[in-house]
A and B are shown apart, each in its own frame.
Chain A
Amino acid sequence: MKNRLLAGLAGVVLAVALAGAQAKTFKYADQGDALSMDPMMLNESLLLNFTGNMYEPLIERGKKLELAPGLATDWKQTAPTVWRFTLRKGVKFHDGTPFTADDVIFSYERAKGEGSDIKSYVGAVKEIKKIDDHTIDIVTSTPFPILPQVITQWRMMSKAWCEKHNAVNPSDVRKGVENYASTHANGTGPFMLKAREPGVRTVLVPNPNWWGKKEHNLTEAIFTPIGNNATRVAALISGEIDMMQPVPLQDVARINANPKLKVLQGPELRTIFLGMDQARNELLFSNVKGKNPLKDVRVRRAFYQAIDIVAIQKRIMRGASTPTALMVAPGINGFDKSLNGRYPYDPKAAKKLLADAGYAQGFEIGMNCPNDRYVNDAEICQAVAAMLAKVSVKVNLTAEPKATYFPKILKRDTSFYLLGWTPGSYDSHNPLFALMATPAAEPKGQGQFNLGSYSNKRLDALTAKISSETDPQKRQAMISEAFKIHKEEFGHIPLHQQALSWGMKKGVHLVQLADNFNYLRWVTIE
């Protein structure tokens, strides 16, 4: 009797141990949540990255950000404006329906339609023709040699599923509405959505029917936003989570000193910058009435030269940033080192510029800033406010979580704001087109994120030419010219590229992409 009991007990223990060995739950945290499960709802890295575990594009990015076949196995240019894509056969969405050309066309309509935040990725596409169920032609309005690079963030959704659940259009972040696709997901990707509690936790499980070769060893992934820096670090140190980012800069040394933990650092492709409303005749948030001081290039230059970027780098970023004069990072195609010298920090010159522009006494301006999106974002804004105060510009700062911040500034409900941008195509055309060109209805997505509506006709013309130019040297010359115009007109105030810093247990292996993406399909834990 006693022996049988013991044997039974041993069996239970063994079973538990085995289950423990097999269950690989990866718990990870970020400072904010992915705001929706809809891959077209917001053009933001975290959301694109997170939904990218479930939804896939035609062309993917590999471990070195190189192009790789995704839901298209092959693509080639058949005419200057026509691209033939062969779709992967035998792919099924999570709900079991097969993936076909109709879904691609549907996803295109959805991406360019009402409520979509990723219009700029499909702006060059004129139409998509179905040849057969697994062949399509993408037709662009003008020759567009970088099409494969541009569409890697455009993910495929199921037509039948979206129609069935009334989610044909993405929920518009500007209007604050949600739909079925905001909280449910049905992609073709390696992971499926198991549970979604917005702002609390999101659980993903592997898709057993995924078409690709499995490289991860996870059985479950739990994503938790932890806004408080100290709490996030404590969660990692206590072992409650396996990985988190960003590591607060003041804690990098402490985590590295812990024998069980490590910090993975690397330069990031994201550029952090300040934008200024240059369209309205009167700023929404300022005490200057009847005119818009930011329309005056001298005022914009004064703002730029009043900012001590080295102090921000040294004190706020603790060295983990690279000050920049351009809106793109080294590593983005089109980056021009010769243009990357910043105008010097010079508060006296800034004061003089303001006086010349008629603001010797300064003025008041409202500033908007996220506090859970970029590394020390709110601290940077506070520092900028203090620096501008020294040239008599009084900044009324509103720092808030991105859940309220993004809807507000995407409505252009701001005078002065901080934003970060990683070109989704890793090419300079993307920031020129989406961030710097004059906002326009056509082509779709032009200037969609040029939230201050900086406008220069020559830059617009160059951007259009850059999109179709195939000669690399001519193209680079045009990119450099456009960047130079933008720099000299102070269309935005570039600040820096932040460094990536991910903290994790030593047994966690993953791929840190330079655009701060962390795909679960490459995560293994020991």
Chain B
Amino acid sequence: MLARAWDSDLAYSFRRSPVTVVAALLTLTCVAGALFAPWLAPHNPFDLASLDLNDAFTPPFWSEGGKAGFPLGTDDQGRDVLSTIMYGARISLGVGIASVLFAMVLGVALGLIAGYVGGRVDALIMRVADVQLSFPAILIALLIDGVARVALPADVHAHIAIPVLIMAIGVSGWVQYARTVRGSTLVERHKEYVQAARVIGRARAAIMVHHVLPNVLGPVLVLATIHIATAIITEATLSFLGVGMPPTQPSLGTLIRIGNDFLFSGEWWITIFPGIALVVLVLSINLLGDWLRDALNPKLR
């Protein structure tokens, strides 16, 4: 089984691309660091009792005044920067993946319906998609998150900040999925196997889900991989602007925003390290996504 996977086309093209191997390793490191943060991180930044304000603004260990206990220094509240990055990456990745899933489910469902049912339903869904496409995704996410922030009291919002953010980013990104799936569905619905299913009397919903869907998912997976990187960036942007994750549950974007206040006053490490972490994470996921797109594209072989 393993041997077969090793010999597959996909694995072959993977082995042949050193950039992809490095990207995969980096992604893996980031994901592992985020996933196992509670065990790997030197401190738990969410355990307030473990913080000591007197440790605030400790520089990275190689600078003068640095402490080995805080390898990348501490922020204004005495939180270990390395630990906050690991915990923050958890939230960034979590929100990124969840919002991609949200966008994917929404977009695929609407695209399937539009493509398969056609007619007015198709026109309606696709015009809505066109309208939304004329706005930048970040603007739509800002709008949804901003409205939720105003409509909900601050203490309620703090509790549901993550779901709101996932929804905001998800809703802003469903159009690509809907368009892709609709296009493939238009092609598939006239094929014999679909007609055969219709002739034997299967329900429309069943045909869509059981027959058409599996055959249109390929491009969606590629889209989703690249979209994860975009979603993480969107989340970071929102948090940087102060409408994403609150400072009590900081994601990478929130950390960069907090550190931004101190960037010019000498405490550069509070913002630079989360920034580097974000760049590495997004870049490596993007490279992986690019490779996947090329590897799955028969025309490029």
Q: Which residues of A contact B263 (CB under 8 A)?
A: 230
Q: Which of B53, B242, B248, B267 contacts A311 (CB 8 A)?
A: B53
Given the interface pairs A229-B261, A230-B263, A254-B264, the reply to whether A387 lies near B53 with Cβ below 8 Å is: yes
Tell whether A254 pairs with B265 under 8 Å between CB atoms, given A315-B56, A315-B57.
yes
Residues A366 and B155 in contact, CB atoms below 8 Å apart:
yes
Q: Is A205 an interface residue (CB 8 A)?
A: no
Residues of B within 8 A of A230 (CB): 260-261, 263-264
Cβ–Cβ < 8 Å partners of A132 in chain B: none
**Stretch of A206-214, A319-327, A377-385, A507-515 lying at the B interface:** A377-385
Interface string of A373-408 (1 = CB under 8 A from B): 000001100110111011010111111100010001
Inter-chain contacts of B53 with A (CB < 8 A): 308, 311-312, 315-316, 383, 386-387
Q: Mark B123-166, 1 if CB is under 8 A from A, else 0.
A: 00000000000000000000000000000011100100000000
Which size class do A's interface residues fall under? 35 or more
Enumerate chain A residues within 8 angstroms of B154, measured Cβ to Cβ. 398, 400, 404
Nearest to B257 among chain A residues (CB) is: A228
A residues 421-453 with Cβ under 8 Å of B? none
Chain B residues with Cβ under 8 A from A228's Cβ? 242, 260-261
A386 touches B49 (CB 8 A): yes
The yes or no answer to B217 lying at the interface (CB within 8 A) is: no
Whether B265 lies near A390 (C-beta < 8 A) is no
Tell me the minimal C-beta distance from B152 to chain A in angstroms: 11
B77 and A251 within 8 A (CB): no
Residue of B nearest to A399 (CB): B247
B residues less than 8 Å from A390 (CB atoms): 48-49
Selected contact of A378 from candidates B155, B247, B267, CB within 8 Å: B247
| A233-B262 Cα distance, complex, nearest whole Å | 11
Which A residues are in CB contact (< 8 Å) with B77? 379, 382-383, 386
Q: Give the residue name and chain of the A residue nearest to B48 (CB).
A: A389
B17 CB-CB contact with A under 8 Å: no
Decide yes or no whether B78 CB sits under 8 A from chain A: yes
Question: In the complex, what distance in Å separates the CA atom of A382 from the CA atom of B45?
Answer: 12
Chain B 45-66 interface 0/1 with A at a Cβ cutoff of 8 Å (1 = within): 0011101111011000000000
Residue of B nearest to A388 (CB): B48
Q: Are B264 and A251 in contact (CB under 8 A)?
A: yes
CB of B262 within 8 A of CB of A250, answer yes
A385 touches B48 (CB 8 A): yes
Chain A residues near B122 (CB, 8 Å)? none
The winner among B51, B57, B248, B261 for most chain A CB atoms within 10 A is B261
Q: Which residues of A contact B78 (CB under 8 A)?
A: 315, 386
Q: Tell me, yes or no, whether B290 is within 8 Å of chain A by CB.
A: no
Residues of A within 8 A of B248 (CB): 397
A148 in contact (CB, < 8 A): no
**Distance, CA A390 to CA B48, complexed state (A):** 8
Question: A234 to nearest B CB, angstroms?
Answer: 8
A143 at the interface (CB under 8 A from B): no
What sequence of 0s and 1s flags, for each residue 69-110 of chain B, a beta carbon within 8 Å of any chain A beta carbon?
000000011100000000000000000000000000000000
Contacts of B52 in A (CB 8 A): 311
- Closest residue of chain A to B79 (Cβ to Cβ) is A386
Of all chain A residues, the one with the shortest Cβ separation from B156 is: A398
- Interchain CB contact under 8 A, B267 and A250: yes
Q: What's the minimum C-beta distance from A417 to chain B, rounded to whole angstroms? A: 12
Given contacts A315-B78, A366-B155, A398-B155, contact A382 B264 (CB under 8 A): no
Q: What residues of chain A lie closer than 8 Å to B242, measured between beta carbons?
A: 228
Given A250-B261, A389-B49, A404-B154, A382 and B247 touching (CB < 8 A)? yes
Please measure, in the bound complex, the distance between the C-alpha atom of A82 and the C-alpha atom of B56, giving whole angstroms.
Answer: 57
CA distance A393 to B77 in the complex (A): 18
**Closest B residue to A250 using CB positions:** B265
Q: B247–A315 contact, CB under 8 A? A: no
B262 contact set on A, CB distance < 8 A? 250
Task: Flag whether A266 is at the interface (Cβ < 8 A).
Answer: no
| Chain B residues positioned under 8 Å from A113 (CB to CB) | none
- On chain A, the residues within 8 Å of B153 by CB distance are 404, 408
A330 at the interface (CB under 8 A from B): no
Bound-state Cα–Cα, A312 to B56, Å: 10
- Whole-angstrom CA separation of A390 from B50 in the bound complex: 7
Give the chain B neighbours of A386 by CB distance below 8 A. 48-49, 51, 53, 77-78
A248 at the interface (CB under 8 A from B): yes
Chain B positions within 8 Å of A253 at CB level = 265
**Chain B residues positioned under 8 Å from A378 (CB to CB):** 247
Question: Per-residue 0/1 for A208-243: is the Cβ within 8 Å of any B Cβ (1 yes, 0 no)?
Answer: 000000000000000000001110010000000000
Q: How far is the CA of A404 from the CA of B77 in the complex (A)?
A: 25
Residue of B nearest to A387 (CB): B53
- How far, in Å, is A102 (CB) from chain B's closest CB? 41
Q: Can you name the residue of chain A whose Cβ is closest to the Cβ of B263?
A: A230
Q: Contacts of A379 on B, CB cut-off 8 Å?
A: 76-77
Q: Evaluate contact between A248 and B56: CB separation under 8 angstroms.
A: no
C-beta contact mask, B263-294 vs A, less than 8 Å → 1, else 0?
A: 11111000000000000000000000000000
The CA of A163 and the CA of B205, in the complex, are separated in Å by 65
Give Cα A387 to B47, complex, Å: 11
What 11 additional pairs, Cβ within 8 angstroms, besides A228-B260, A389-B47? A248-B265, A250-B261, A250-B267, A315-B78, A383-B53, A383-B77, A385-B48, A390-B48, A394-B48, A396-B155, A404-B154
Q: Which residues of B contact A (CB under 8 A)?
A: 47-49, 51-54, 56-57, 76-78, 153-155, 158, 242, 247-248, 260-267
A-B contact pairs, 26 of them (CB 8 A): A228-B242, A228-B261, A229-B261, A230-B260, A230-B263, A230-B264, A248-B261, A250-B266, A250-B267, A251-B264, A285-B155, A311-B52, A312-B53, A315-B57, A382-B247, A386-B51, A386-B77, A386-B78, A387-B53, A389-B49, A392-B49, A394-B48, A396-B155, A397-B248, A398-B154, A398-B158
